[in-house]
Structure 1
């Protein structure tokens, strides 16, 4: 019987294993990506097991653990074991499904299982060309703000690299002072994740850019490929010194990614109304939905 003791922590040296497995079984949601797991491990304590050619994932926040369906060949018996393990968790909603294909498969096996959508974890996916070109009336306000920024702030785009990494780290400290990360546990965790990504961007094979406005770095983004047609923006930060700089970092990142990807995943809004409004203004092409099963629902069908 599968147990929590079969899982081990996700560590930086596991990257090649996950890269190889995800080439065979591409992911749609950022939360299953290796970069996300290893960068946010301080907060979410990601663990994995490799069973019958499938990767099994769990995350533990505040002492409560959630499990995901097996990533690999469809194996109903292994799915049942994972769901049974989730049933033994103290988490109220211990079973999380992060892609539509897996959701459809589970529903075909357990048609009476109720899986509730969790909007705050839905991820926003955009046409890369839309974010790069900002076409039509729907983007007119964003284009105007971007043009004002370009006119007023003398920006220059730089690739993330050895020449500017120290200054980018200083930028992160300034961003956290502005946001008062020390008084907000969520922002403090985000700072930890971002600092880990910057410290290990070469091992993680992350790409990134910075925008230098009025002589100093005012915005950064870090990104990578998620699957064959979708890129994933992990982090996008800016300071308020030059109005419109968030518009610029978004557009400059998209110009780079549009050359190799059809879509750009810009992750979720975490239920923050201001972030939701900002992401909706860019007119997502579609959302990657997240569904969760409650303890009583798992107990009812198993």
Structure 2
């Protein structure tokens, strides 16, 4: 699918060539959600489903799903331009969609909403906008202090330390390497497939059905990540045990103070591997980027994932909102 023209607004394909354009607009805003990077959006989008436009001096990212158009992020730009851009984006979505019900803006950071409301120049128009739209809280991103993840001090991290110590004792010949997208490609895909198979075995049937619906998209994301690893300026590591790749993880910088873990997978049968690779990657992210915080994304609504992420005692939870029309 090429570009689209909707309501006289041209939407261009979201491709690798969009990277410098989007990153120019991202540099103008202060957010620490894991969704606000080019790489995070590029690897998760199907090849023909992403579109963008510069609307009222804002970068606007759309996704086409089943013929319906939504936004993956709010318009990115200066505060004084946001409100009119939001209104225009809804006009574009409504013109395309079979019902206004489908039109929405996802992954809006709470602090951005607060800033819009506090903008005195836009106060009146923002009030009028809130009369026509509904803002609904969705998931939260889990953000940690990087030193806490490395040191794992105190009683609250006792279990993590125990798991890591058992891992090191059980697998003293482990080897950690920086991820190479060519060298490690096939082994990473193989581990991902094993991870999916193992995960489903221990899931309740109703949860497994929901889980499997997203697996095709996640497998595509892993392949996109490997294919464009260098271009996306990603960083990652892998871990070998007895010559077999048993874990991999990939991340990037969100802003000056925060890095993010985009994806992490380990073999369920290797006790303590997940805890060990997370600590080692935290060290790598701190050393490479000099960051203070690490964002590991949301829990996708899975209770078991929520428990795992809460067990690391997040420094803060960053809410994500969706904007709908009334």
TM-score interval, smaller chain: 0.7 to 0.9
| Cα distance in 1 between the residues matched to 2:52 and 2:78 | 16
The question of whether the paired residues in 2 share the 8 Å contact of 1:48 and 1:56 is answered with yes
| Cα distance in 2 between the residues matched to 1:2 and 1:245 | 49
Cα deviation, residue 198, structure 1: 1.1
Q: What residue number does 1:157 align with?
A: 176
Is the alpha carbon distance of 1:40 and 1:166 closer, same or farther for their aligned partners in structure 2, counting shifts above 3 Å? Answer: same
Q: What residue number does 2:78 align with?
A: 73
Q: Which runs of 5+ in 2 are unaligned?
A: 118-122, 201-207
The question of whether the paired residues in 1 share the 8 Å contact of 2:29 and 2:77 is answered with yes
| Cα distance in 1 between the residues matched to 2:144 and 2:63 | 27
Cα deviation, residue 7, structure 1: 1.8
TM-score (norm 2): 0.81
Cα deviation, residue 43, structure 1: 8.6
Cα deviation, residue 208, structure 1: 0.6
Cα deviation, residue 86, structure 1: 4.8
| Cα distance in 2 between the residues matched to 1:242 and 1:152 | 9
| Cα distance in 1 between the residues matched to 2:184 and 2:6 | 47
Cα deviation, residue 46, structure 1: 2.6
User: Deviation string for 1:157-194 (max 9, x for gaps)?
Assistant: 11011443343333334334434699922112111101
RMSD of aligned alpha carbons: 2.6
Cα deviation, residue 203, structure 1: 1.1
The question of whether the paired residues in 2 share the 8 Å contact of 1:206 and 1:224 is answered with yes
| Cα distance in 2 between the residues matched to 1:45 and 1:37 | 11
When the two structures are aligned, how many residues end up with a matched partner? 294
Task: Tell me the SS of whatever aligns to 1:201.
Answer: coil
Q: What residue number does 1:99 align with?
A: 109
Q: What residue number does 2:311 align with?
A: 281
Cα deviation, residue 10, structure 1: 1.1
Task: Tell me the SS of whatever aligns to 1:32.
Answer: coil
Cα deviation, residue 17, structure 1: 2.1
The question of whether the paired residues in 2 share the 8 Å contact of 1:238 and 1:245 is answered with yes
User: Deviation string for 1:117-155 (max 9, x for gaps)?
Assistant: 113xx1111111111111111111111011101110222
Q: Which piece of structure 1 moves more, 174-183 or 261-270? A: 174-183
| Cα distance in 2 between the residues matched to 1:40 and 1:4 | 28
Cα deviation, residue 87, structure 1: 5.2
Compare the two structures and name the one with the higher strand fraction. Answer: 2
The question of whether the paired residues in 2 share the 8 Å contact of 1:98 and 1:288 is answered with no
Q: Which piece of structure 1 moves more, 157-166 or 86-95? A: 86-95
Task: Tell me the SS of whatever aligns to 2:59.
Answer: strand
The question of whether the paired residues in 2 share the 8 Å contact of 1:49 and 1:55 is answered with yes
- Decide which of 261, 269, 272 is 1:233's aligned counterpart: 261
The question of whether the paired residues in 1 share the 8 Å contact of 2:36 and 2:254 is answered with no
Q: What residue number does 1:49 align with?
A: 53
Q: Which piece of structure 1 moves more, 240-249 or 99-108? A: 99-108
1:27-176 matched pairs, under 5 angstroms: 27-42=31-46, 45-67=49-71, 68-74=73-79, 75=81, 76-86=83-93, 89=97, 90=99, 91-92=101-102, 94-96=104-106, 98-107=108-117, 108=123, 109-110=126-127, 112=131, 113-119=133-139, 122-154=140-172, 155-161=174-180, 162-176=182-196
Q: Which runs of 5+ in 1 are unaligned?
A: 297-302
Q: What residue number does 1:224 align with?
A: 252
